[in-house]
Homo-oligomer: A and B are copies of this chain.
Amino acid sequence: MQLIDGNAIAESIIEELTAEVGALEGKKPTVAFIRVGDDPASVSYVRKKERTAERIGIESRLHLFPENVSKEELFAQIDALNGDPDVNGILIQAPLPKHIDETETFNRVAPGKDVDGFNTVNIGKLCQEDGSGFVACTPAGIVELIDRSGIETEGKHVVVLGRSQIVGKPAALLMMRKAVPGNATVTVCHSRTKNLPEVTRQADILIAAIGRPNFVTGDMVKDGVAVIDVGINRVEDASKKRGYRLVGDVEFEAVSPKASQITPVPGGVGPMTVAMLMHNTLRAFKAAQ
């Protein structure tokens, strides 16, 4: 069994991006972050994105709004950023307060600056295999992990566990497209699937994105499977200072001995999302030149 080191792979991508941005003459890429409220997880995610941008040489701007911001005010900010030629990418940190519709907000971002890949146009382009769109950072990170770990997908059976709009479905579409990585036979299963272990046991590559701690047990996979565990779940753990530990959707101890390759949690898909955000920002910058 070989561990897929998401931290190391993300680090390689960041180094590649740093070299590429360093070689740019004149203007630097710029990404704008919008954060609403002070949710500690959001604060921490945005800070991490700012730091990574800084390392690479991507400029970032942070726009903060209070929890009770009006939709009009928020949208006015998005519109201003859409119209600002110095801004290449716009990221709106989720979750948003309940009085603001997330889909509507994500769609307010100009498709060409939607480095998060949540705009309906970019999701449509993914489905149409139109490479000019932006792929959302988590599924894009999954594909990079697979590619950089030398996992072949062509003709392989990829089983995606979970059918969410932000992970399961885009990951499935990426794996079935006419490209490398891609060209896989893809099965999407979920909470309504009957005989789930029978389905998951067919997987040459299993992408687990169902959001349930330790859901995939040893009997649910076949020998030699490659496992991408997208889940990041908190489970109570009194032995930890913060009272919990993070586990994936896959029971690592039971599944890893059967796997050819597997991502740990944390340190698997997680670090890839920020790297892919920066990758998308540089692409948006280049497209704007």
Q: Is the CB of A128 within 8 A of B103?
A: yes
Q: In the complex, what residues of B have CB within 8 A of residue A122's CB?
A: 124
Which residue on chain B has the smallest CB distance to residue A175?
A: B188
* A154 contacts the other chain (CB 8 A): yes
Instruction: Contact check, B190 vs A185: say whether CB atoms are below 8 A apart.
Output: yes
CA distance A127 to B103 in the complex (A): 13
The answer to whether A125 has its CB under 8 Å from any CB of chain B is yes
Identical subunits present: 2
For the complex, give the distance between the alpha carbons of A188 and B185 in Å: 6
Beyond A120-B125, A126-B127, A176-B190, list 17 extra A-B contacts (CB 8 Å). Answer: A103-B128, A120-B121, A123-B127, A123-B128, A127-B173, A129-B165, A155-B193, A156-B194, A157-B194, A163-B178, A169-B173, A169-B176, A172-B188, A185-B190, A185-B194, A186-B187, A187-B188
14 contacts between A and B (CB under 8 A): A120-B124, A120-B125, A123-B123, A124-B124, A127-B165, A128-B165, A155-B194, A156-B194, A157-B199, A172-B188, A176-B188, A183-B192, A184-B192, A185-B193
